[in-house]
Structure 1
Amino acid sequence: MKKIIICLLLICALARPFLMAQDFQEKYRPQFHFTPKANWMNDPNGMVYLNGTYHLFYQYYPNDKIWGPMHWGHATSSDMISWKEQPIALYPDSLGYIFSGSAVVDKNNTAGFGKDALIAIFTHHDPVLEQQKTGKHESQSIAYSLDEGKSWTKYKGNPVIKNPGISDFRDPKVRWFEPQKKWVMTLATKDRITFYSSADLKSWMRESDFGVNEGGHGGVWECPDLFPIKHEGKEIWVLIVNINPGGPNKGSAGQYFLGNFDGKTFTSNSKETKWLDYGTDNYAAVTFANTGDRTILMGWMSNWQYANQVPTDPWRSANTIARQLGLKTVGKELYLTSVPVQELDVLNTTGFSLKKVKVKGQLDLTDKTKNNTGLFRLDLTMESRTDFSIVLSNQQGNEVIVGYDKAANQFYIDRSKSGNLGFEKGFAAKHVAPRFSQASNIPLTLIADAASIELFADNGLTVMTDIFFPENPMSKLSVKSVSGITVDSLKYAVLKSAVK
C-alpha cells in the first residue's frame, strides 16, 4: 500500500506542470490582461469607477475577429485585474457605429437623467456619409444608465455636437472642471485637439484648439485625455494624444504634453515631444474617471500596423495592465511616470530574491524560477555603467530580449526571434527607448504574460510594452552581461492566472 501511495504522489508531481499548462487552453490567451472571450476588440472606452466596481467599455465587433461595425463591449472588475465580460452596452443605430469615447458619473444630476447617472459620451460614425465624402460623418452623442451600466438609453436629442466639416472628429474624453462648475470635453479633430464645455452634457460650446504646431504629426490625432496631477505642491495638467501612425518605433503610439489648463485653453510647458510608452503595443491609452486622487491609465495592447493579423483565435487584442500615473522632475525637465497598480500584487505566488550578484557572461535563473507558464514579475536594480540584457526564452529557441545599451543610453526590447513572426513584415524588430534618469543604478520592473512583456524602467520614467507570439511559453530566464555587471537586488515572483 505504501508503494502505491508513493507512486501516486510521484504521478501527481510529474503531472503538475501538465495540469498547470491546461489552464492555458487557448494559445497566446493573456492570463491577467483583459481580452474578450471571442472576436475583435480595440480602444478602451468609458473607463469609470463607481461604487466599488471598475467599468471597462471597449470598441468591439461581435461578429468577427477583425475590425467591423463598432459596438461598446463591457467588462467589470473589483480590482482591475480579474475582469468579467458583460453584455454589449451600446449597439450601432441609425446615426452610425459607436466609436470611442468616455463615461462620467453625474453626481449633481446636471443632465437631468438622475443623480449619479452613468453617462457615456461617444462618437457616432456614419458609414454612409463617410462613403459620400461629406467630411461630416462623425458627431458626438450621449447615452445614460440608471442601473450602474447594466442597461443604457441613448439620448433622443443626439447628436449633441454636430460635425462642422472635419473628417476626423472623434473620441470625446469628458471630465468635470470644478473651478468653473462645468464639463470639459477633449476631442480629437484631425491634426489637433479641440476643447468644448457644457453645463449639462447636452449643449456644448467650443472653447479652443491645441496642437497645430506642437507634438508629433506623423498621423491622425486620436483618443485624447486631459487631467491634473499634483506635483510638489502644484497642479500640473496632462494632455495625452494618441497618434496613428507616427510613433517612436513606427505605427500607433501615445504622446503627452504637460502644462496648464484654465477651463478654456491648454498651454504646454514643453517643447519636445514626449511619449507615454516607447513600445509598439500601447495605443488609445486613457484614464479611468472617478478614481479620486489616483490617476489610472489603461491602453489597447496592439498596433494598427498588424492588429488585424495577429495569430490569436477566437479573439483579437488585449488591454495593458492598469498603470498608476505620476510626475517626476529630472534636471529641469518634467516627465510623466507610470507604474503597475498595486492591485497587481494579488497575482504574486512563489518566488525568490537575490542580493549583490555579479554577472559575467550569463546568469541562468531557470532552475530558480521553476515556472513553465512564462507568467512572472521581475523587480531588479542594475548598475548603469555597462550593457546588460534579460532574456526570456523557451526550448524552441524563441526569445525576447529586454536590455540596456550604455553607449546609446537606451533601453530596448528585441522580439525579432520571438516565435510566430510571419503574419506581418514589420513585426520582427528591436524597439528602443531613451533613458531619462541620471541615477547610477537602474531599477527595472518586468511584467510578463503569455504573449506580452511590459517594462517599467527607472520607476516608470521609461515604459515599453510589446506583444509576441512564442511557440511555447517563455519558461526560461537569464541575465547577461559581456563585460560584467552587479545585480544589486533581484526579486522574482511567479504570477497566477486571473482568468475565471
Structure 2
Amino acid sequence: MRNVTVNLCALMLLGHVAFAQNTLSKAEQHRPQYHFSPRAHWMNDPNGMIYYKGTYHLFFQYYPDGSTWGPMHWGHATSKDMVHWHEQPIALYPDSLGYIFSGSAVLDSKNTSGLGKNGQVPLVAIFTHHNPRMEKEKTGKHEYQSIAYSLDEGKTWTKYAGNPVLPNPGISDFRDPKVRWFEPAKKWIMTLATKDHITFYSSPNLKDWAKESEFGKTIGAHGGVWECPDLFPLQHNGKQVWVLIVNINPGGPNGGSSTQYFVGDFDGKTFTPFSTDTKWMDYGADNYAGVTFANTGSRTILMGWMSNWQYANVVPTSPWRSANTIPRELGLKEVNKELFLTSTPVKELDVLNSTGFTVNKLAVKGQYDLTAKANNESGLFRLELATQKADDFSIVLANAEGNELVIGYDKKANAYYLDRSKSGTIDFEKGFGKRHTAPRLSTTPTISLTVMADVASVELFADNGLTVMTDIFFPEKPMNKLYLKSATGITVSNITYKTLKPALSNEQNN
C-alpha cells in the first residue's frame, strides 16, 4: 500500500486554476471534470446518499492514508445541484468495532429512534462494521450492522452507544444495509446483502431488527458475492412497482463488477419478482455499487462508483483513485410485456452545457469528421443522436496520439458496444483493453443515443436509457477529435452537440 502526502492548498489552487483552463498537469490529466472524485487518496462505494434541506449528501468508502484500498472510513461531500461537489471532513472513522463499510442514511422524521433532541430531527446512518480481528478468527461473524446519527444536518455524526444493532448470525458476507421507511406497515425495511442472496429485516425504531424473508438463492446471476443492494418503488402506468438492485462481484456481463436488478412486488415482508430473468442495469465495466438518494420525493436518483474491482487499485491516476458516475434518474419501460429499468442523466446536468451545434438529416457513408464543427480541445461533451433506421455506425473519440474510444451499434448482433482497446494506457491490467457489448432492448426501428464524455470516461444512454454502458479510459492527451463512421451507410435524423464546462468545486469546507 502506497502512502500519499498531499499539499491540500496546492491541490485547491490547481483545482481553481489549471482545471478552469483545461490544461491539466501530467499527474492530474485524468482528473474527472464534472464527476465527483476525492482530492486525494482512495474512494470506492457511494454510501448514505440523502437529500436534506436543499443539500445532497454523498458519503463514500474512503481510505485517507493511501491511494489503494485500506481501512475504510466514510468520506463526505455535499452539493446543492448534484453537479458541483464540495468535499467535507471525514464523517465516520473506524473504531473498536471495526472498519466503516457501506450503508445508507435516512431522515427519521418521526423520531422513531428517539435520537432526536430538542425538536431536532435526526439523520440516521445505518452501516456495516467490519471487524478485521474477528475476521482472522474465521467465525463468520465479523460483519454486523450499526448506526450513527446527526443533529446538525449531516455535518457531524455520533455513533450509537448500543452498536451493533444487528448482530451477525454467522454469515461471512453480511453487509451493505439499505434502509427505507415502509409506510403501509409503519416500519423501516433493511435490504441486506447476505453472501449469495438478499435478506430483508424490519424495525420500528432503527435499533431493533427482525428478519422478514430471503430472496435470490436460486434466482439471478451468481458469479460472485452479492453486495450493495437497494429496494425502491417506481411508478408505471399509475401503479407502484418495486425494483431490487443487487451488485455482484465478479460475474458481470462484461467481466468483473456489475449491477443486476429485479422488478416485482414488495408487501413489507417478501419481494416477489415478475420474472426470473437476469437483467443488468449497466452493461459497461464501470458502474458498480450504485444506490439511490433518500428523501428525493417523487424522483429516484442513483449514483455509482465508476470503476471495477478487476483493476480499481491499479488505474493510472494520482494522487486520487476513483470517481462517481453522473447522477441518473431511474424509471421503467415496458418492452414485449416485460418491464425494464431505465437510466437517464438528471436534468441538473444541463447547467454544464456550453457552445455547440445541431445538424439535421445527415447521410454518412465512410467517415464524417465533426472535429472542426465541435471545436473542443477539452474532450468534454454531450452528444444527442437519432437515426432513421437501426444500421451499423460508430462514434469515434480520438486524439493526435492515435488513441481511440469507439461507441457503436452492430446491426447483425443487434447490440451496442464500447471499444477501449486503443483508448490510451491499457497495460495496467490484462483485461482492461477490451470491447464491451450490450444487447439492444428497444424494438423501435430508430435509434436514439445520449453520450456524456469526460476526460477519462464515457457514459452511453441508448433508447431513452433502456440500454446503458459506462466505461473509464486513460488517453495520452484529451480526446479532441470526433468522427461518425458507417461502412454500410446511415442517415442521421439529427445530432446535437454541446461542449461541457468543468464543474470542479472540490474545496474542503472545514
- TM class, shorter-length: over 0.9
Query: For residues 228 and 338 of structure 1, what CA distance do their matches in structure 2 show?
Result: 15
Q: Which amino acid aligns with 2:272?
A: T
**Conserved? CA contact 2:19–2:504, under 8 Å:** no
Matches within 5 A, 1:302-317: 302-317=307-322
Find the counterpart in structure 2 of residue 209 from structure 1. Answer: 214
Match of 1:31 among 23, 30, 33: 33
Q: Does 2:410 match 1:405?
A: yes
Query: For residues 491 and 318 of structure 2, what CA distance do their matches in structure 1 show?
Result: 42
Find the counterpart in structure 2 of residue 86 from structure 1. Answer: 88
**Conserved? CA contact 1:390–1:479, under 8 Å:** yes
TM-score (norm 1): 0.96
Residue 24 and residue 289 in structure 1: after superposition, are their counterparts in 2 closer, same or farther (change >3 A)? farther
Query: For residues 24 and 259 of structure 1, what CA distance do their matches in structure 2 show?
Result: 48
Query: For residues 20 and 179 of structure 2, what CA distance do their matches in structure 1 show?
Result: 48
Q: Does 2:482 match 1:477?
A: yes
Matches within 5 A, 1:296-307: 296-307=301-312
Query: For residues 390 and 234 of structure 2, what CA distance do their matches in structure 1 show?
Result: 33
Secondary structure of the residue aligned to 2:413 is coil
Q: Which amino acid aligns with 2:43?
A: M
Residue 147 and residue 17 in structure 1: after superposition, are their counterparts in 2 closer, same or farther (change >3 A)? closer
CA deviations on 1:124-156 (whole Å, 9 max, x unpaired) are 000011111110000000000000111110000
Q: Does 2:284 match 1:279?
A: yes
Query: For residues 95 and 21 of structure 2, what CA distance do their matches in structure 1 show?
Result: 46
Find the counterpart in structure 2 of residue 3 from structure 1. Answer: none
Q: Which amino acid aligns with 1:63?
A: D
Query: For residues 26 and 203 of structure 2, what CA distance do their matches in structure 1 show?
Result: 48
**Conserved? CA contact 1:17–1:372, under 8 Å:** no
- Number of residue equivalences: 485
Secondary structure of the residue aligned to 2:377 is coil
| 1:271 CA displacement | 2.0
Q: Which amino acid aligns with 2:199?
A: T
Query: For residues 247 and 490 of structure 2, what CA distance do their matches in structure 1 show?
Result: 37
| 1:20 CA displacement | 3.6
Q: Does 2:261 match 1:256?
A: yes
Query: For residues 51 and 363 of structure 1, what CA distance do their matches in structure 2 show?
Result: 48
Q: Which amino acid aligns with 1:419?
A: G
Q: Which amino acid aligns with 1:62?
A: P
Q: Which amino acid aligns with 1:271?
A: T
**Conserved? CA contact 2:395–2:408, under 8 Å:** yes
Matches within 5 A, 1:373-412: 373-412=378-417
Matches within 5 A, 1:52-71: 52-71=54-73
| 1:26 CA displacement | 1.3
Find the counterpart in structure 1 of residue 138 from structure 2. Answer: 133
Residue 416 and residue 145 in structure 1: after superposition, are their counterparts in 2 closer, same or farther (change >3 A)? same
Find the counterpart in structure 2 of residue 265 from structure 1. Answer: 270
Match of 2:184 among 179, 188, 193: 179
| 1:309 CA displacement | 0.4
Residue 97 and residue 19 in structure 1: after superposition, are their counterparts in 2 closer, same or farther (change >3 A)? closer
Secondary structure of the residue aligned to 1:411 is strand
CA deviations on 1:25-61 (whole Å, 9 max, x unpaired) are 7110000100000000000000000000000000000
Q: Which amino acid aligns with 1:434?
A: P
**Conserved? CA contact 2:19–2:33, under 8 Å:** no
Q: Which amino acid aligns with 2:126?
A: I
Matches within 5 A, 1:311-390: 311-390=316-395
| 1:113 CA displacement | 1.0
Secondary structure of the residue aligned to 1:33 is coil
Q: Which runs of 5+ in 1 are unaligned?
A: 1-15
Residue 352 and residue 75 in structure 1: after superposition, are their counterparts in 2 closer, same or farther (change >3 A)? same
Query: For residues 25 and 488 of structure 1, what CA distance do their matches in structure 2 show?
Result: 41
Find the counterpart in structure 2 of residue 247 from structure 1. Answer: 252
| 1:17 CA displacement | 12
Q: Which amino acid aligns with 1:79?
A: D
| 1:23 CA displacement | 8.7
Find the counterpart in structure 2 of residue 229 from structure 1. Answer: 234
Query: For residues 40 and 380 of structure 2, what CA distance do their matches in structure 1 show?
Result: 22
Find the counterpart in structure 2 of residue 6 from structure 1. Answer: none
Query: For residues 83 and 57 of structure 2, what CA distance do their matches in structure 1 show?
Result: 12
**Conserved? CA contact 1:388–1:404, under 8 Å:** yes
Secondary structure of the residue aligned to 1:441 is coil
Q: Which runs of 5+ in 2 are unaligned?
A: 1-17, 506-510
Query: For residues 389 and 93 of structure 2, what CA distance do their matches in structure 1 show?
Result: 52
Q: Which amino acid aligns with 2:65?
A: N
Query: For residues 298 and 280 of structure 1, what CA distance do their matches in structure 2 show?
Result: 15
Secondary structure of the residue aligned to 1:308 is helix
User: Root-mean-square deviation (CA), in Å?
Assistant: 1.3
Secondary structure of the residue aligned to 2:314 is coil
Secondary structure of the residue aligned to 2:65 is coil
Q: Which amino acid aligns with 1:71?
A: H
Match of 2:114 among 89, 104, 112: 112
**Conserved? CA contact 2:27–2:318, under 8 Å:** no
Secondary structure of the residue aligned to 2:313 is coil
Q: After the TM superposition, which parts of structure 1 deviate over 6 Å for at least 4 consecutive aligned residues?
A: none
| 1:383 CA displacement | 3.6
Query: For residues 247 and 491 of structure 1, what CA distance do their matches in structure 2 show?
Result: 32
Find the counterpart in structure 2 of residue 443 from structure 1. Answer: 448
Query: For residues 193 and 169 of structure 2, what CA distance do their matches in structure 1 show?
Result: 13
Q: Does 2:424 match 1:419?
A: yes
Q: Does 2:223 match 1:218?
A: yes
Query: For residues 61 and 452 of structure 1, what CA distance do their matches in structure 2 show?
Result: 23
CA deviations on 1:78-126 (whole Å, 9 max, x unpaired) are 0001100000000000000000000000100000111421100000000
Q: Which amino acid aligns with 2:233?
A: P
TM-score (norm 2): 0.94
Greater displacement, 18-27 / 195-204: 18-27
Find the counterpart in structure 2 of residue 294 from structure 1. Answer: 299
Query: For residues 433 and 64 of structure 1, what CA distance do their matches in structure 2 show?
Result: 35
**Conserved? CA contact 2:389–2:491, under 8 Å:** no
Find the counterpart in structure 2 of residue 453 from structure 1. Answer: 458
Find the counterpart in structure 2 of residue 99 from structure 1. Answer: 101
**Conserved? CA contact 2:51–2:296, under 8 Å:** yes
Query: For residues 122 and 216 of structure 1, what CA distance do their matches in structure 2 show?
Result: 25
Structure with higher RCO (Cα < 8 A, 6+ apart): 2
Secondary structure of the residue aligned to 1:498 is coil
Residue 17 and residue 233 in structure 1: after superposition, are their counterparts in 2 closer, same or farther (change >3 A)? closer
